[in-house]
Structure 1
C-alpha cells in the first residue's frame, strides 16, 4: 500500500452538503445553522473548482437546492446523489475513504467511522466510505482499525504524523495496544515511520486530529499551529508537547524536521458579539477551531482559511505564500465551520491521480 502526499496530483476532491436530517444541525438552531454551514462548504467547493473537479455528495432532500446553487458551476462541481446515508455530514476527510495505491491500482481504506468515538450516531447500514468505493468501482481495503482521515498526515515518503488521543482511545479502539495499532497503520497506508504527538482526549469532537495541529508542507518540513496566547491551557500544552517532539525526531528518511510555527487567530479579534464570547468563556459553546494549518492542497493551488482577525489572517497568509511559491493561494473566509470544530481540510478528501 502507498498513501500519496497531498501535494501530488489529484483526479478530484470529494465534498458534501450536510443533510437536513443530521442531528448536529437540528440540535443547534435548525435551518439557520444548516444554511450557514452550507454557505461555508459551498464557498470552499467553488474555490476548489477553480483548480480541479469537485464531486459534491448531496442527499435527495437537498438535491434540487444544490443544483440551483451550482447551476453556473456545472463544469467544475459534479453533484452526486447519496441515497443510503440519511444523516450525511460535511466532514469528508473523515467519512470518505482514505485513498491509497495497492500496487498500480487505486483503492479506498474504510476506517470504520464511528462518529468520532460514538459522539454522533452514524445510523447507516453501510459506511459512506464503502459506498464511495462501490460507486467508484474501487477495491475496499477493510480493517479492524477505527480512525479518521483527519488523524493521518503523511509526507508521501513513509512518514506519518498522528495524535495518540485520536486513535489510542477506548472510544475507537478499545483494548488495542500502540504496537497493534501501528502494525495496522503500516499495513493499510504503507508508511514506515509514525511520529506520535500526544494530543488531548476530549479537547474537541475529534479528540485532537493532527490536521488541525501539524501538517507537512514538504518532506522534512512541518508547519505547527501555535495558540494565539500561550498559557496553562490544554491547547498550549498540546502545542508545546508537539513542538518539542517534532524538533527532536527524524522522519522515515532520517532527516531532522524543520518546524515552522503558524499563530492561530485571536478569538477576541473576530468581531463576535459579547453574548457569543461569554458563551464560549463559560463553555456553553465550544471554542472555535482557529487553526490556519487546516488548509487544503489542490492541483496548482492552496485553499487557505481566513477567520476575520486581520493581523493573524495576514501573517498566516504571508507564511503560506512563502512556503508554496509555486502555487496560487486562494483564501476562503470561514464563519461557521470553526464553531463546529473543523475547517477546510476537514471538509474535503482528495482522490489521487
Structure 2
C-alpha cells in the first residue's frame, strides 16, 4: 500500500488494490468528483491556538482502535482469506491492549466475528470497500480540555485508482457512531500520507498530496494551509517522494515516523539498495536531519534498518516490508516481521529502545504485505479526549 523501500514494478506497476472492475471505475469516478467538490466547499478546520483542536501524536492514550474488514474478491482475489487472517491477527493482538472496533459489511459481519474472536467488536452498520482504515477513517483531534472531534480527508481511492464509494463515507460515519463533531478538510488525502508530532509539525510527501489525482489546480502552499488547519499544526516538513510507482504515490508512514516532538525515525535501505525507494528513504533522512520542528528545535533523527529483500519470506514484487509501518497502542508497539531473522531481531531491539516500557509485538502479516500495506495502514487510533 504505502512504502519507500519496497521493490515495486516500474512503468505502471500497481498492487492488487489497484484492480478495478468496469463498474468499480464508474463508481470511483463519481466518488472522485464528489470528494473533490466537498474538499473545495468544506469549511476549514479550526486553526491551532490555545485550547484549539489538534491531532495528537500517536503514543497518547487511546480509547479504541478502528479497523475495517476486507471482503472483496475483486480487490484481493484468491488471497482474500489470507488477508482476512492477517487482519484478524492484528485485531486480536491490539485487543490485548485496548478495545478494537472492526467495521464490516453486514453480509461479512458474521465471518469477521468468527475469525477475529470475542475480544474484537464488529460494527456492521459502517460498510467498507477495503481494509485500509488509516486512509479512510477519521483523523481524531483533541483540545486538551476533554474535547474530541474528527476530520475527514475526503478519501478518493488514492487518486481514483480503486473503487471507494463506501470508503469515502467511512470517516464521517465513524464520527457519527462515536458522537463527535465532524469536519471535512479542505484537501483530498489519506491518513497514511501525513505524520504528526502533536506539537505543530507535520511530515508528508509531495508525490502523494501535491498531485493532480488528489488536489488538481491546487498549489503546494494551498494544500499545506489546508493540512495545517486540519491538523492544528504550524509547519510541514516536505519530502519529494515517488510518483506513480505504487497506488498511494509514496505515503510517508512506511518510511518516516515521529517519535516525539523534535524527534523522528527513518527506515533505511541496505547500502547496496539503489532503487527509487531506497534513494527516497536516504533523501528523507537528509531532509529530516537538516530540518527544525515547529518549535524551532533541530530534528533528532533515528535510523531503523530495513530488511534484505533477498532474505524475506515473500518474493512478491509489491510486498511491503516496512518495520516503520508499526502501530502504537496502549502499552505496546505492533510491528511486522518478514523472515530476515537478523533484521527482524534488530528492528525489535531498536523499537524496544525507542519505546521503553512498551511490549514489542512482531507479527507475520505476509498476506497483507502482498497488497503493499502494513499494520499502521490498517489501523486508526481514537485518542482519549
TM, length-normalised to structure 2: 0.82
Larger CA deviation: 324-333 vs 99-108 = 99-108
| Alignment partner of 1:234 is 2:276 | yes
Match of 2:68 among 11, 16, 23: 16
| Alignment partner of 1:82 is 2:125 | yes
Match of 1:91 among 123, 132, 140: 132
Q: Distance in 2 between matches of 1:237 and 1:341?
A: 19
Counterpart in 1 of 2:260?
Answer: 218
Write the mapping of 1:1-353 to structure 2, written as runs, cut at 5 A: 1-20=53-72, 23-26=74-77, 29=78, 33-71=79-117, 74=118, 76-82=119-125, 85=127, 88-101=129-142, 104-124=146-166, 127-272=169-314, 277=315, 286-353=317-384
- Alpha-carbon deviation of 1:232? 3.5
Q: Distance in 2 between matches of 1:90 and 1:126?
A: 13
Whether the 8 Å contact between 1:230 and 1:236 is mirrored in structure 2 is: no
Q: Distance in 2 between matches of 1:19 and 1:108?
A: 26
Counterpart in 1 of 2:45?
Answer: none
Q: Distance in 2 between matches of 1:289 and 1:158?
A: 29
Q: Aligned Cα RMSD in Å?
A: 1.7
- Alpha-carbon deviation of 1:100? 1.1
Q: Deviations over 1:157-215 (max 9, x none)?
A: 11111111110001000010011111111111111111001111112111111100100
- Alpha-carbon deviation of 1:12? 0.2
- Alpha-carbon deviation of 1:126? 6.0
**Structure 1's 125 and 215: CA in aligned 2 closer, same or farther, altered over 3 A?**
closer
Q: Deviations over 1:28-78 (max 9, x none)?
A: x2xxx111101111111111011000001111221221222244xx3x311
Q: Distance in 1 between matches of 2:359 and 2:167?
A: 41
Secondary structure at the residue paired with 1:336? helix
Secondary structure at the residue paired with 1:269? coil
Secondary structure at the residue paired with 2:290? coil
Q: Distance in 2 between matches of 1:89 and 1:271?
A: 25
Q: Distance in 2 between matches of 1:57 and 1:125?
A: 11
Q: Distance in 2 between matches of 1:187 and 1:145?
A: 10
What are structure 2's unaligned runs of at least 5 residues? 1-52
What are structure 1's unaligned runs of at least 5 residues? 281-285
Q: Distance in 2 between matches of 1:319 and 1:231?
A: 21
Q: Distance in 2 between matches of 1:120 and 1:192?
A: 32
Ranked by relative contact order (alpha carbons within 8 Å, sequence separation 6 or more), the top structure is 2
Which contiguous aligned blocks of 4+ residues in structure 1 show a shift greater than 6 angstroms? none
- Alpha-carbon deviation of 1:334? 1.5
Count of matched residue positions in the alignment of Structure 1 and Structure 2: 331
- Alpha-carbon deviation of 1:14? 0.2
Q: Deviations over 1:314-333 (max 9, x none)?
A: 11111111111121112211
Secondary structure at the residue paired with 2:310? helix
- Alpha-carbon deviation of 1:104? 4.3
Whether the 8 Å contact between 1:213 and 1:225 is mirrored in structure 2 is: yes
- Alpha-carbon deviation of 1:124? 3.6
Q: Distance in 2 between matches of 1:341 and 1:231?
A: 19
